[in-house]
Chain A
Amino acid sequence: MLTDNEVSHIAKLARLELNETEKEKFKKELSAILDYVETLNKADTSNVEPLMQVTGLVNSVREDESRGIEYKPEFLIGQAPESKNNLVKVKAILKK
């Protein structure tokens, strides 16, 4: 079973504000899922290389040049909650 501190720590790492009800709910649900995945420990994986991707492609590269695509600024910058001079405006990092 995950502890309350662990749940709060994970939420902080994930940048998620959780209320007490959610913390309690996720503690139970995540613990149940983690118990279920414990079954993986029964699989013998000694001398097995992890499979990170399935196609086997290595270093898929292309020329680093403009592909002549016109993106519309109203969709890119224009959907930010705040923008100024075609730049996205964010809140202060340091508290005043």
Chain B
Amino acid sequence: MKGHTIESLRNGYAKGEYSPQEIFDSYIKKIKKENPKLNAYLSVFTSAVGMASEGPRRVAGEESEQKSQQTFYARPMMPSDKALFGIPCAIKDNILIEDTVTTAGSKILENYRAAYDATVIKKLKSAGATFLGKTNCDEFAMGTSTENSAFGPTRNPHNLERVPGGSSGGSAAAIAADLAVFALGSDTGGSVRQPAAMCGIVGIKPTYGRVSRHGLIAMASSFDQIGVLAKNVSDSAQVLEIISGHDLFDSTTVDLDVPNWSQNLDRDMKGLRIGVPKEFFREGLSFEVEEKIRHCISKLEKMGHKIKEVSLPNFDYALAAYYILVPSEVSSNLARFDGIRYGHSTTKAMDLAETYFFSRAEGFGPESKRRIMLGTYALSAGYYDAYYLKAQKVRALIRKDFDDAFVEVDVIVGPTAPSTAFKIGEKSDDPLALYLEDIYTVPINLAGLPALSLPCGLGSKSNMPVGFHIIGKAFDEETILRVGHQLEQNI
């Protein structure tokens, strides 16, 4: 993988080859050159924003910005004890950074300035990371291609005609093009792993409850998790360690210790039981993806692990359950965008009701409207039992399928996405075809499990990246990171 990693920068700082400021500036320069063709970033920061964590507090006005820069230059080049000292990152534009514009890829939040830092941002700041900017995404993280962004699609750095995947497509493209060292994304049904697969990088979605969503703009609250996109598994593990943990500001976070994942990556683990669900290898999976996945599985076998076929009998129902539950939660979460307190507000309204109707009509894009409509229908009087309740019961069946499989195996593997990156515009007229992109990632969010996508080479037909999906037991990020890391060394 080209460009800097956390480790390479740490070594460079230790040897005094460059300063954090020089690295930051070189990334900003590169972004300004490359971003016009990729559209990976929606906004790029001045140096002062990223350096605020250690430098003097930023106050308005040029002079003080200048001062904070000078202070930063004057700092020693030696790395501090901070784990992410001087590591430049990109943040998906649905995660709040205080006093910066956060759009969530939507026109309705085009000018919205975040009032506070998300918990993950606070943690990254205190670990010494610097922030390059905010990355493009499908509107409110709803999509699989980043074509649903109100600010234009992001292009795949491997082939500019193709999508980068989604919804965290901007974050994935930024890492693949080395426009940041690591990035944060959010994953509701695959939005970290699928773009990571399509851009040929590592993406991990931790267990539901592992990372605080405080300051993440909510899409479907019983699914949303923040995840990490990076160039290798080791970087992913290091960042995930920093952002994980219980948070009083998100009552769905679980009070469990965060293990030292990055220290344990090389620990020996021969003889792991690796499950391959037979349902993953059926119609819809492209030949070139299957080829790569089979190759990875045989590598794992050669590395001394036991491969075992398992079954997820309710796999075929997962996508249908997801597309009832998620729009239902979306219709509720997006009700807050009403043109009253923040965000786009219509100028045409004569009364309060018209303010709601017109502001939402003018501000939301087609996919948001589609899901709001679908969710409102599913939750409306007379339909709740048939759709929402039925889907929650099917969700229980899917969770049980995984529980049963994990009695027999330690991890489950397969493809991250059924095909490699498709052409921009190719599927945009067919919402259902786009939904099918998530067929392998969605069941994991229904069950709340951790999963990682590892790049495993280019497809023989499209010459585009393929992602290998490694799924773990709840709160066992350790095993999937270790399998990913050790397989990474062997691909």
Q: Are B369 and A45 in contact (CB under 8 A)?
A: no
A26-B373, A57-B254, A76-B115 in contact; A37/B393 too (CB < 8 A)? no
Any chain A CB within 8 A of the CB of B157? Answer: no
CB neighbours (8 Å) of B341 from chain A are 76, 79-80, 88
What's the nearest-Cβ distance from chain A to residue B475, in Å? 10
Q: Are A50 and B396 in contact (CB under 8 A)?
A: yes
Q: Are A18 and B222 in contact (CB under 8 A)?
A: no
By beta carbon, the residue of chain B nearest A35 is: B432
A14-B373, A18-B369, A26-B370 in contact; A32/B391 too (CB < 8 A)? no
By beta carbon, the residue of chain A nearest B394 is: A43
Q: How many A residues face the partner with a CB closer than 8 A? A: 54
Residues 384-411 of B at the A interface (beta carbon under 8 Å): 387, 389-397, 399
How many interface contacts (CB-CB < 8 Å) are there between A and B?
Answer: 167
Q: Are B323 and A33 in contact (CB under 8 A)?
A: yes
Any chain B CB within 8 A of the CB of A29? Answer: yes
By beta carbon, the residue of chain B nearest A61 is: B251
Any chain A CB within 8 A of the CB of B1? Answer: no
Interface size range on B against A: 35 or more
| Complex-state Cα separation, A41 to B389, whole angstroms | 12
| Complex-state Cα separation, A94 to B310, whole angstroms | 61
| Complex-state Cα separation, A49 to B396, whole angstroms | 7
What's the nearest-Cβ distance from chain A to residue B383, in Å? 10
| Complex-state Cα separation, A60 to B387, whole angstroms | 28
Q: Are A39 and B252 in contact (CB under 8 A)?
A: no
Q: Are A41 and B116 in contact (CB under 8 A)?
A: no
A43-B397, A60-B251 in contact; A33/B432 too (CB < 8 A)? yes
Q: Are A95 and B376 in contact (CB under 8 A)?
A: no
What's the nearest-Cβ distance from chain A to residue B348, in Å? 10
Residues 5-25 of A at the B interface (beta carbon under 8 Å): 6-7, 10-11, 13-18, 22
What's the nearest-Cβ distance from chain A to residue B206, in Å? 12
A88-B340, A88-B341 in contact; A51/B396 too (CB < 8 A)? yes
CB neighbours (8 Å) of A32 from chain B are 431-432
Q: Are B396 and A60 in contact (CB under 8 A)?
A: no
Q: Are B369 and A52 in contact (CB under 8 A)?
A: no
Any chain B CB within 8 A of the CB of A1? Answer: no
Q: Are A13 and B380 in contact (CB under 8 A)?
A: yes
Residues 40-84 of A at the B interface (beta carbon under 8 Å): 40-43, 45, 48-55, 57, 60, 62, 67, 69, 71-72, 75-76, 79-81
| Complex-state Cα separation, A71 to B116, whole angstroms | 7
| Complex-state Cα separation, A10 to B355, whole angstroms | 18
| Complex-state Cα separation, A30 to B375, whole angstroms | 10
What's the nearest-Cβ distance from chain A to residue B118, in Å? 13
Q: Are B208 and A54 in contact (CB under 8 A)?
A: yes
| Complex-state Cα separation, A3 to B394, whole angstroms | 28
Any chain A CB within 8 A of the CB of B314? Answer: yes
CB neighbours (8 Å) of A11 from chain B are 373
Q: Are B360 and A17 in contact (CB under 8 A)?
A: yes
| Complex-state Cα separation, A91 to B355, whole angstroms | 8
Binding site for A on B (CB under 8 A): 99, 112-116, 208-209, 222, 248, 251-252, 254, 314, 316-317, 320-321, 323-324, 331, 335, 338-343, 345, 349-358, 360-361, 364, 369-370, 372-374, 376-377, 380, 387, 389-397, 399, 431-432, 435, 447-448, 474
- Across the A-B interface, the 7 shortest Cβ-Cβ residue pairs: A54-B448, A50-B392, A75-B115, A45-B393, A51-B396, A60-B251, A17-B361
Between-chain CB contacts (< 8 Å), 28 pairs: A13-B376, A15-B335, A15-B356, A15-B357, A17-B357, A17-B358, A17-B360, A18-B369, A30-B373, A30-B374, A33-B432, A33-B435, A40-B324, A49-B396, A50-B389, A53-B222, A54-B474, A57-B251, A62-B251, A69-B116, A71-B116, A72-B115, A79-B341, A88-B340, A90-B340, A91-B349, A91-B355, A92-B352
Known: A36-B323, A51-B396, A76-B115. 20 other contacts (CB 8 A): A14-B360, A14-B376, A16-B361, A17-B357, A17-B360, A18-B369, A29-B370, A30-B370, A30-B374, A30-B377, A34-B377, A37-B324, A39-B320, A43-B314, A50-B389, A51-B393, A54-B222, A62-B251, A79-B341, A93-B351
